[in-house]
Chain A
Amino acid sequence: MFEGISTQLLFGQVLLGLINGSFYAMLSMGLAIIFGLMSVVNFTHGAQYMLGAFIAWLLLNYLGIGYWPSLVLAPVLVALTGMVLERLLLRPLQGLDHLYGLLATYAVALIVEGLVRYKYGSTGLPYDNPMPGGINLGFMFLPYYRLWVVVFSLVTCIGTWILIEHTKLGAYLRAANEKPQIVETFGINVPKMMTLTYGFGVGLAGLSGVLAAPIYQVSPSMGSSLMIVVFAVVVIGGMGSIVGAAITGYMLGLVEGLTKVFYPEAASVVIFMFMIISLYLRPAGIFADKESV
């Protein structure tokens, strides 16, 4: 069927697509959660992803803290800085037009990226693979670390989904999303929930950053270009849908990988083309409810 294309190449790209998809999924899930509760398009998301990777690199090179503790520490640090940001900057802008939230987070992204670039230059910094080696599956070579990334992100996405759809906390969150005033009358501290939600969302970005560090190089610009693709992913999936965002993320990662095999010239634009088609056919997004157009 696929004449002239080696299975090695095919499966290699499928794996790469799944890995990219894992990052798209985790990042777009975080974006969707934050948008759902706070109506803020978090433009700092890419910078927070980069920050996660950078913190892991700094911990390793200055404190000798390795990959595994960083996998917990870096996201927590990113989440904490995010919560401070939410309290100091986003909270005062809550009552205003939503575009101010977007622009404020954009400004923060500029500052963070600029400062990191000033301090560490724009070239990538290498991060050692914590799980060297791999297994030969016969038709392809599967590095352990890449397998780990795919499995771990799947677990994270499913865990987040369970947290939001099947726990009491998640129920509060969804309720506050729909009718914040009514939820508040039940004695739930909605502003505090917003802070925690923002922290959780950007923590996911930080976690993705640590996961990405051994695969891609750690560089100041690693987040900004990725984030635009993630925006497209969220638009395709439908802004309100958290699960939709994750599924779309994996799907588009795969599509992108396959495009690299069959028509490499279009690989960088295929996701945007998908966005155009989906905007035309399903203006509200693939996974959105009909009402939320």
Chain B
Amino acid sequence: MVRLLLLAVVAVLAIAAPFYFYSVTLMTVMCFVIFACSFNLLLGYTGLLCFGHAMFFGGGAYITGQILKTTPISTELAILGGGAAAGLLGLVIGYLTMRRQGIQFAMITLAFSQFIYFIFLQAEFTGGEDGMQAIPRNDLFGFVDITSNFTLYYVVLAITALCVFLYYRVVHSPYGEVLKAVRDNQPRVESLGFDPEKIKLVAFIISASMAGVAGGMKAVVYQFATLTDASWPVSGEVILMTLLGGLGTLTGPVFGAGIIILLNDYLAGFGEWALVSQGVILLVVIVFFRRGFVGEFSALAKYLRRRKAAPDAKAQQVGIEPAH
């Protein structure tokens, strides 16, 4: 009940937001919310640290942009195309990288992302250093005009809601439970007759396509795609968002993405300090708040609830059931 009410409040706020805030900033936050969710699915729920997630984000942006530029296909299908292309890339890279375990996975994915980055740099269609310019916003479903940022905001909101819902479904499905089991004890899962490599590969592909959708959406919002989207600092940024929000928490990526994007926006004029502050935040989170924003908050809530419940525990000793 409380949860439903909370959801309703969030929905109302999200619908009202563009009347009060700059819609492009809000849309950027939402793109990164999807991106961070995709990353959390991997690191938080599967225990895989992919240090090259920007290749899927940037790849999705370029493919979506290319579809919109060269064909009259409607925008939502183009974004889906970006996601599918990223998923395909995820399949190939995942297949090759799953052979190495643990921390090496991070190094290999980082190297892969640099490889993809150089390919984007040299490919004709991406526009190299200049990036892909003037991406049109084709009509949604072929008839809804989305050239104004105000209209686009609601489209982006709908896609984000859909993606977050999907992410929620994956995490809470039986498959999601197996994912968590692989993270916590892989040999055990193997002994139960599952194939952990296949399970992880599927998670990698889902995550890659979600990141591709996020990138494709960003290309639609900004109407350009650049190499920055595929560069490794962006991979680092999404790690920071996920950790800051809370690893393996459902709402963590939302908070993490929001905080970091707003911070970047605020620090944009201070040059190098954005980089330094990201490093400092990451360090503080790793050393002191490993559960992240949402994780620490819910731990605090749990602690308070337990303290409140302490008299009940006494009551239990004398045989009286505490009321819940």
Q: Judging by beta carbons under 8 Å apart, are B115 and A117 in contact?
A: no
Dominant secondary structure at the A interface = helix
| Given A100-B290, A269-B119, also A117-B272 (CB < 8 A) | yes
CA of A229 to CA of B271 in the docked complex: distance in angstroms? 27
A279 within 8 A of B: yes
B17 within 8 A of A: no
B78-86, B95-103, B132-140, B185-193: which one contacts chain A?
Answer: B95-103
Expressed in whole angstroms, the minimum distance between the Cβ of A202 and any Cβ of chain B is 17
Q: Judging by beta carbons under 8 Å apart, are B282 and A107 in contact?
A: yes
Q: Judging by beta carbons under 8 Å apart, are B280 and A111 in contact?
A: yes
- Chain B residues touching A, range: 35 or more
In the complex, how many residues of chain A place their beta carbon closer than 8 angstroms to a beta carbon of chain B?
Answer: 44
Contact of B122 among A41, A235, A265 (CB under 8 A): A265
Within 8 A of A (CB), among B74-110: 96-97, 99-104, 106-108, 110
Q: Which one of B96, B99, B102, B111 has the highest number of Cβ atoms from chain A below 10 Å of its Cβ?
A: B111
Expressed in whole angstroms, the minimum distance between the Cβ of B265 and any Cβ of chain A is 18
Q: Judging by beta carbons under 8 Å apart, are B243 and A103 in contact?
A: yes
Q: Cβ of A284: which chain B residues have Cβ within 8 Å of it?
A: 100
Q: Cβ of B276: which chain A residues have Cβ within 8 Å of it?
A: 110-111, 114-115, 118
Expressed in whole angstroms, the minimum distance between the Cβ of B279 and any Cβ of chain A is 3
B264 within 8 A of A: no
Q: Judging by beta carbons under 8 Å apart, are A98 and B103 in contact?
A: yes
Flag B247-283 by CB within 8 Å of A: 1 or 0 each.
0000000000000000000000001111110111011
A217 within 8 A of B: no
Within 8 A of B (CB), among A192-241: 224-225, 228-229, 231-232, 234-235, 239
A145-153, A178-186, A270-278: which one contacts chain B?
Answer: A270-278
Sample of 22 A–B contacts (CB below 8 Å):
A93-B286, A98-B102, A98-B103, A104-B286, A106-B236, A107-B278, A108-B283, A111-B275, A111-B279, A111-B280, A113-B275, A114-B273, A114-B274, A114-B279, A117-B275, A118-B276, A225-B114, A228-B110, A273-B115, A279-B100, A284-B100, A293-B100
The 4 residue pairs across chains A and B that have the minimum distance between CB atoms = A110-B279, A272-B115, A114-B275, A114-B276
- Interface residues, chain B, CB within 8 Å of chain A? 43, 49, 96-97, 99-104, 106-108, 110-112, 114-115, 118-119, 121-122, 232, 236, 239, 243, 271-276, 278-280, 282-283, 286-287, 290
